Amino acid sequence: MERESARLKALRDDLEGRLKARFPALIVNGNPTSRLPHILNVCFDTGTLPMEGEMLVPGLDLLGIAVTSGSACTSGSMQPSHVLSAMGRDSDSARSAIRFSFGMSNSEGDIDRVVKGVEDVVGKARRRD
């Protein structure tokens, strides 16, 4: 279990680093050092990059990338997560949150595909504005 946790943490950290490098407006939700190794929850600083998680989810789904919006405690709700709000996120940024989960079948190649997918979906959203 320790080995798998370390592998998942490495995948999570790789995705986080690559997304942050590509999207400076990305905010990581959660404690930087004490969080689950298989979950990455991020949102966008919507003052810098207007974005909604509910827009990202279907776009990524069409690319075969399964994510959820918000936080686990508000899954399925259109309201911003009270947890993310309590962490200081404004309601628009909290609504832009998406959650990535990693498991035994994920690999480094999946990270490449996810980064490309997020770039494509965000790029399309920017062109619509």
Is residue 96 within 8 A of residue 44, CB to CB? The reply is yes
Alpha carbon 35 to its chain centroid, in Å, reads 14
Residue-wise pLDDT for 29-60, tens only, equals 988 889 999 999 998 877 777 766 667 888 99
Buried b (16+ CB within 10 A) or exposed e, 31-61: eeeeeebbbbbbbbbbeebebbbebbbebbe
Exposure of 6 in the CB half-sphere (CA atoms within 13 A): 3
Instruction: State how many domains the chain has.
Output: 1
Can you give the CATH number for the domain in which 43 is found?
3.90.1150.10
Range(s) of the domain holding residue 90: 2-128
Point out the catalytic residue in the list 73, 91, 107, 123: 73
Instruction: Report the predicted TM-score, pTM, of the whole model to 2 decimal places.
Output: 0.84
Q: Give catalytic status of residue 73 as yes or no.
A: yes
- Mean residue pLDDT of the chain comes to 84
